[in-house]
Amino acid sequence: MRYSPLVALLLAATAHAQDKTTVAGPTATGFLLPNGWHLTPAGKHAVITDLPLNIIPLKDGKHALVATSGFNRHELSLIDITGEPKVVASESVRQSWYGLALDKAEAKVWWSGGGYGKLHTFDLKGGQLMRTSPPDPEPRKENARPRKGAAKAGPDADPAPKKDAAKADADAEPAPKKEPTARPFPSGICLDEARGVLYSLSINSGELSVVNPKVGTAKTVTLGGRPYDVVVGAHQVFVSDWAGRQVFVIDPAELRVIRKIPVGEHPNQMALHKDGRLFVACASSNAVSVIDTKRGHVIETISTALFPKAPEGSTPDALTLSPDGETLYVANADNNCVAVIDVEAPRKSAVKGFIPTGWYPTAVAVTPDGKSLLVGVGKGLQSKPNPFKQKDEKPLDDKELSEGVRKLPFPYIGTTMNGALSVVPVPDEKQLKEYTAQVYRNCPYSDDQLTAAPHPEKTAIPTKVGDPSPIKYVIYIIKENRTYDQVFGDLATGEHAKGNGDPTLCMFPRKVSPNHHKLAEEFVLLDNLYCNGQVSRDGHPWSTMAYNTDYIARDWHLTYSRRKGVDDDDEGHLQNAPSGYLWDACARAGLSYRSYGEYGKRVSDGTGAVKMEGRVPGLIGHFAPNYGAPKKAGVKVRDTENVAEFIREYDEFAKAGTMPRFIVMSLGEDHTTGTTVGTFTPQACVAANDLALGQLVEHVSSGPLWKETAIFVIEDDAQNGPDHVDAHRTVGLVVSPYTKRKYVD
């Protein structure tokens, strides 16, 4: 594939340009997100619930069906897309997922039920939706309280279980093996009226069901993998394998897999061209694989990234073809844009430009006349602060959410997000040029950053790859779930007030966290630092691989709202990025590394004792076995005990001259156990975490390697506290002889 001359020119000439505003929030031209991206969405917008995964425009060109499957209420909405778009009818369900189908008469709707295990059905008549399938069962009581090893609900703890949480914990269950299971989880669906059947995928059990909707009978084909989307051709049925880098080709007459076609990473939505080309969005490859279905192989790979050398991170997660088949529209979720691609000539596709969208587009469609683009925006048009609720503020009425979330004194981060449906007139060449320039202005990334950093006057950080640095040892500490105001809000008061804090939101002030406060005052106070992740489920990947796959971005909404989620496969293909984690980068560079708790699991050493080991391949043989390992069943290991074990190993490495160049550590007692009876109070947990951090810094800074060391501290997310700037703003520390001292940044 190639970039059009317009895009090539912008790549060469467009410098990164942002508003001078540095604090996340509204700007003169749009909205600055906490991750540094700017939002200037095109079109007009209807606010809906978060994570719209599918859109079906109606034949009248005036309405569209939109299905949302996020953290908040799952809704199927009929939206008037003329003028100012607005919801005219909606039905909610407890659990849903990606699949959505409508018959040709536009009278019957099928919607996949996800963890509900079945399909929802509706009648569409007279501009109204009427449910025809049985109502969802009431949530079981165990769905409203944590499982063993899960985070406890309450004002000072995660409100939902952390499925596959990366942090090692004495009370956490080890990561299960996740081969396809018998638990049905409907995903993609497709109605084939010519054959009189409905194709329905079960993503967790790796199956394709062929249903006769008139009589309800079904036949099942075992596929394996994690089937996501299904598309029907004249003589074949195609299924994308989300985890397997392949597309299954099925004979609809014999109901058997006749071919598996390799494609890019994380194949998700597909679109079939009238000439037989199958376009497959591959989220973790920044690309669309184009399959010649007559020959059964990929004939073209179309990059959707803004820059040619960009690592995974554009996340193409939805696509659609124009009615005339000449243009492909691809939602780049993490680039907040839609790529516009000329696909008229096979093997000669060219990116014509980009259209700016809201935050994290997750669905895209075109009206039947080809004149309007419909974009489903996963996280809405802005991020929000989450200060304490006002006394007259009504509690959340979504019964699907846990009581702990609904009764929090501040808005939980999942409830601060809305979705949106954007209606964008298909741009002409001039408008597309303006849109494309805006998308590049919105972007904080450029390929130059892969080899060079900005050039300050003097720094210990190399500005180019290969430059020397006095820092040889890095200790990277990941803590749990706190906002800036929650810990450092009190620094904005007193004679030496500093930082952008709100003391009324400070829950763990100096008397609880004296070491954090002292380190921030003596080294650097970072009062404009934000987490990319919303919760630990996506926060740990962002903290350790600088990416969050499309799987995690969808799945956390389910598991953190007490719904059933999608199981990863046995190898973790859905949650792991192709380029791996920080420690994989160390391995490629020939640097030694070791993990203390991060991405760990408990194992038995054969004598009945419990040890820790890495749960991802890159950490096997690079994991501290005693850090986080409980000495007695059911007794949680305190952070101070873990740091004592770290110090023991640290001194041994220093004496032997074998200190790992990179150390990553989970120091997570500030997570707390909420108000659970019989456990330490939140204040006691945070105080223990503070003491442990102080002990670590004191020991390392008084040792022989201090002059070559930098300690970085971050929270994996900021989900469990209030903040007056943004719900993503968090606590961070940089402790090193090379830190700019007594500075606010």
Q: Rg of the Cα trace of the chain?
A: 26
CA distance 67 to 205: 23
Long-range contacts, stretch 338-344, CB < 8 angstroms, 24+ apart? 338/364, 338/373, 338/375, 339/304, 340/427, 340/432, 341/1, 341/288, 341/302, 341/304, 342/4, 343/273, 343/277, 343/279, 343/290, 343/302
Q: Is residue 369 part of a domain?
A: yes
DSSP letter string over 464-494? Answer: BTT---S--EEEEEEE-S-BHHHHHGGGGSS
pLDDT of the residue at 393 = 72
My answer on whether 303 and 236 are in the same domain is yes
My answer on whether 436 and 536 are in the same domain is no
Q: Is residue 463 part of a domain?
A: no
Judge whether 600 and 172 are in contact, CB under 8 Å. no
Q: Is residue 158 part of a domain?
A: no
**Total domains in the fold of the chain:** 2
- Which DSSP category does 134 fall into? P
The amino acid at residue 560 is Y
Judge whether 78 and 67 are in contact, CB under 8 Å. no
Sequence-separated (6 or more) residues with CB below 8 Å from residue 107: 123, 124, 125
My answer on whether 660 and 731 are in the same domain is yes
My answer on whether 659 and 536 are in the same domain is yes
β-bridge pairing 86-93 and 74-80: antiparallel
- CB half-sphere exposure, 260, CA atoms < 13 A: 10
Residues paired with 201 in a beta bridge: 208
My answer on whether 430 and 512 are in the same domain is no
What six digits make up the tokens of 44? 């007009």
DSSP letter string over 503-527? Answer: GGG-SS-TTT-HHHHHHHHHSEE--
635 Cα distance to chain centroid: 32
My answer on whether 682 and 554 are in the same domain is yes
CA distance 723 to 507: 11
3-state secondary structure of 438: helix
pTM comes to 0.92
My answer on whether 579 and 694 are in the same domain is yes
Q: Is residue 336 part of a domain?
A: yes
My answer on whether 488 and 441 are in the same domain is no
- Which DSSP category does 79 fall into? E
β-bridge pairing 63-68 and 74-80: antiparallel
Domain boundary among 399, 431, 447: 447
My answer on whether 424 and 496 are in the same domain is no
Sequence-separated (6 or more) residues with CB below 8 Å from residue 550: 266, 268, 283, 284, 315, 317, 333
My answer on whether 201 and 334 are in the same domain is yes
β-bridge pairing 128-131 and 119-125: antiparallel
Query: 3-state SS string over 273-313?
Result: CCCCEEEEEEHHHCEEEEEECCCCEEEEEEECCCCCCCCCC
Q: Is residue 426 part of a domain?
A: yes
Q: Which domain holds residue 476?
A: 472-744
CA distance 603 to 172: 12
703 vs 149, 661, 709, 737, CA distance in Å? 37, 15, 10, 13
CATH code of 192's domain: 2.130.10.10
Q: Is residue 454 part of a domain?
A: no
CA distance 427 to 362: 20
Q: Is residue 258 part of a domain?
A: yes
My answer on whether 338 and 216 are in the same domain is yes
CATH code of 491's domain: 3.40.720.10
CA distance 14 to 446: 10
CA distance 258 to 366: 32
Q: Is residue 252 part of a domain?
A: yes
CA distance 581 to 547: 9
Taking the chain (745 residues) in consecutive chunks of 10 residues, what is each chunk's mean pLDDT? Answer: 46 41 88 97 98 98 98 97 97 97 98 95 97 82 37 38 40 39 87 95 96 87 96 97 97 96 98 98 98 97 96 97 98 99 97 98 98 98 94 66 76 95 98 98 90 76 87 98 98 93 98 98 97 96 96 95 88 90 97 97 85 94 96 89 98 98 97 90 97 99 98 96 97 96 91
| Chain position carrying tokens 């001359």 | 5
Give all strands of the β-sheet with 256-262 in edge-to-edge order.
Answer: 227-232, 237-241, 246-251, 256-262
My answer on whether 106 and 199 are in the same domain is yes
